[in-house]
Amino acid sequence: MKPGTVSRLVHREPTMSQRRRHRRPSPETYQEYIMKKLTLSVLVVIASSAAATAALAQDVAAGKTAFNKCMACHAIGEGAKNKVGPELNGLNGRKSGSAPNFSYSDANKNSGITWSEAEFKDYIKDPKAKIPGTKMIFPGIKNEKEASDLWAFLAQYDKDGKTK
């Protein structure tokens, strides 16, 4: 050690702020801490739920864009009529081949499918593979996100074409 330097090993009394940091909190302070932590956790859950709802709204908007591929043959919404393909109002829970006043292929009528999200997503990947003999001449939507968005858009319409 150089002459004139002070050793760092000299014991010093802790400062007031150092003493406060090492003090055990009172039960009231600890309860306040726990309540703040719980409140923050609840707020995070609420914010996450709101974000999930917003994500759903985005899915419907993206699904509307995806539906542009379908519009040449299908209609949806109030006043929708059959075109080359059936109108798609109330698709969720509807039996395949059951839209009124549409001439379905026997393959479609006899497929035994009741439309749900899972059935739709499986079908829309490759319609001819899911229902061999269908009249639908669409190559399919392979992108899972796009198929999910499209389902979100379609599923919002009831059988009368009104949004739920």
User: Which range of residues forms the domain containing residue 90?
Assistant: 28-164
Task: Report the alpha-carbon distance of residue 49 to residue 60 in Å, rounded.
Answer: 17
Task: Report the alpha-carbon distance of residue 144 to residue 141 in Å, rounded.
Answer: 8
3 within a domain of the structure (yes/no): no
Handedness of CA 29, 31, 35, 38 (dihedral sign): positive
7 within a domain of the structure (yes/no): no
Q: List, for residues 27-56, the tens digit of each pLDDT value.
A: 677 788 778 887 887 777 777 766 665 555
Q: Label residue 131 by pLDDT band (50, 70, 90).
A: very high
For residue 89, the one-letter residue type is N
141 within a domain of the structure (yes/no): yes
Residues forming a β-bridge with 32? none
66 within a domain of the structure (yes/no): yes
The tally of domains found in the chain comes to 1
11 within a domain of the structure (yes/no): no
5 within a domain of the structure (yes/no): no
22 within a domain of the structure (yes/no): no
Q: Label residue 68 by pLDDT band (50, 70, 90).
A: very high
The CATH number for 40's domain is 1.10.760.10
Q: What percentage of the chain exceeds 70 in pLDDT?
A: 79
Distances (CA, A) of 5 to 11, 12, 14, 52: 15, 16, 21, 63
Is residue 158 scored above 60 in pLDDT?
A: yes
Mean pLDDT confidence for 158-162: 96
Q: What is the pLDDT of residue 164?
A: 85
Is residue 2 scored above 80 in pLDDT?
A: no
For residue 117, the one-letter residue type is E
117 within a domain of the structure (yes/no): yes
